[in-house]
Structure 1
Amino acid sequence: MAYFEIKEELTKGKVKYAVRVREKNKHAPIPSKSKKFDNRQHAESWAIKTKLELENACSTGYSKPKVLNNTNILFSNVQEQPLTSSSTLFEYMEVYMEHQKTIPNPISKTGIGSLNIVKQHDLAMVPINEITFEDLQTFCMERLISCSPSTIAVDISSIMRLIREVATLKGINISDQVVRQYYSQLKRDGLIADSNVRTRRLEKGELFGILKKFFSYDKKTKIKNNYPAIVLLSIYTTLRISELMALTWDCIDFNNKEINIKKGKNTKRGSNNVPRKVPMQAIAANLLQKIKPQHATGDMLIFNIKAKSFSSIFPRVINAIGIVDLQLRDLRREGVSILLEKGLSVEQVALFTGHRDYKMIQNIYNQMRSENILRNNGMV
């Protein structure tokens, strides 16, 4: 079954009605269509008509491949054509995605998600060497219906990386310049934009208020999860909340002052037996020793709560004590900034955070305060 949505937006001072029609069936031959109209009535008429077209295409022209003994049986006498500069973006993506499964450092989940979204748009069927500004403009306008310009910028960057790496892999004489040449114009037109960099850190007295509230919250719950410890370790380990909630006691090496992350965002595929080693600050080690139960076994989770659950609890507690615009991820920025204020280099901080791209630490997480730098270096 297909559905549609119509959004009113202002484009160059004029009201436009952006329509997006999508088919829920993931095996649909035509997954979605988008168009903009000056008149709402025309937009609704087109949406209804297109919805029926997509549903008919599913019911008459396509069905999910039959599965026998969990194996898809396909018959074909057509030889696979080699990639060239005139192959479509979709064909490049198919090769690229398969290649990512075989390498130790694949692209992030964000990059894979972006490319999967691009697959659903008409841009995917355009030959690489024929991509025009109008193609990219249409794609961006379609995406603006459901996301921000900064998110679309990630899509465009993912496309450029895809073209660049597949061309190198297959020895094709083409570069990401086919898209990059239009990047500045897309940005000037407001179709893509840089991400808004958050600068929020804890203000004086906020941490005490948060710990106090979480302490009382913990006392009221049936299952004790030591919420104040989660808050403090989020800061003084700089781990992502998903990494922190996945820790078991055998991940903590008190002797070598290390935390072993067996599985994280940047854990190399196939390397779970060689975990990422994170230096453990004294404040984190002391806290972990204090909360460790006497009966703790190596495979026991340190915190009996899922990352998503804590992520939903945190904003409720923050709102209850009247703290404005503080997010859970800001605790990690607090921890990174503290390390930088102590004089650690970006490369050393990356050992804590696991970032492969040092620019993330420099541009996103670095919010050092001059008074802290002076105090840490005995200059006040």
Structure 2
Amino acid sequence: MATGEQIVELARTYLGLAYVWGGETPSGFDCSGLVEYVFGKNGIEVPRVSYDQINVGQSVQPNKLRAGDLVFFDTDKKKSGPDHVGIYIGGGKFIHAPKTGDVVKISSLSEGYYMDRWMGGRRVPGVSTSATSAALDGPAEEVAPHLDATELAETYGMSYAFFKSQPELWKKLNSAVEGQWSPAKFQAEVKNTKWWKTNSSTARQAQLLEKSDPATYKATMEGARAQAQAMAVQAGAILSAKNVEKLAKNMVTLGWEQAQVQNFLGQYIKFGADKTMGGIAGQAAKEIRKQAYDMGVSVTDQSILNNAQYLVRGLTTMEKVTGSMRAQAAGLYPAFADQIKAGASVQDLASPYVQVLAGELGLPATDVDAFSPKIKAAINRVGPDGKPSPLSLTDFVQQVRSDPAWRKTPTAGNQALTIGRQVLADMGLAS
């Protein structure tokens, strides 16, 4: 455990040392090299570059900084992210290695250049305020820097960096600094802006987090992306990287709940190369096919896809889908409409005909069902009066036996032998 004062004391010994790009030793430092070296000499390991250093420890607001904290800036507008880092020394100042041609020196956070490029502060694990407080394990004394607009922004509940990113709010902040508005007046002015009125509370918080604590925002987005991917797999949705990002963004910035996520995912339910689907959609497709078969109803792939999408999106239920197919079956098989509406399946109603057809033609029962043309015609027969009148099983047997295919079956051969023996017996030629 090292104190912030010890970190600062060692950093001060390198004041005036020339900046060296990529430098990480007392022969020359760049900004993150100075941080890595000073902390390392105090027994605290930190990553080598500023883009990784900003992920260390916990976020610290500008008015809560204390000696030994790290301060980050975005000095290269061509590349987003924390490309510069320094060590806070108290009193609104920090020590750093600025750039080629410069030396390790102390600068002020209130300078316009650094105020405009502020990204965030981080408290590194293992750094205490003083030897005394570290020994007592007591609360660290916080030194509030005099940051003018930055401090005022934090007082009003938002980061300076965020105000800079929103022209409408930036104008309000400048007016507040100039007029020294009270927090109540400033908050009232902010709530009257277009930004406030057109963004939900969740959206505002996400935007604030993105600018004031980019490391935490980055971690939040990573978690949302992983969750979005998992929910897509569970639903059976096929998402491109762009749509995963879009969904994650909406979950974080808009606070999308389960129903909104499912509605989004339902739009991306698709068949795979083998005409199958995964997840909830795949289970729904399997159930739809089964129900359609039981009801003697034909369904297209497009109908299955549409219903699977609607089910995932919460726009329909399996009960409604089944009810629709049952109503369709009642229309297709009017002679059995009442039984179908009462819960009977067409396959069960056609079972006696299936047994006759399979038995007479010597077919496996699994090869015959209500979709077989002969059975479908028999149960959909219309009587002389024009009303539904299914063929009786006796008549169905005779109809099957009139089929040329029946004459080639063992059943037909055995019947012919039986009739032949009977004729011979009647003629007294056989006993």
Q: TM-score, normalised by structure 1?
A: 0.25
**Structure index of larger Rg:** 2
Q: TM-score, normalised by structure 2?
A: 0.23
Greater share of residues in helix: 2
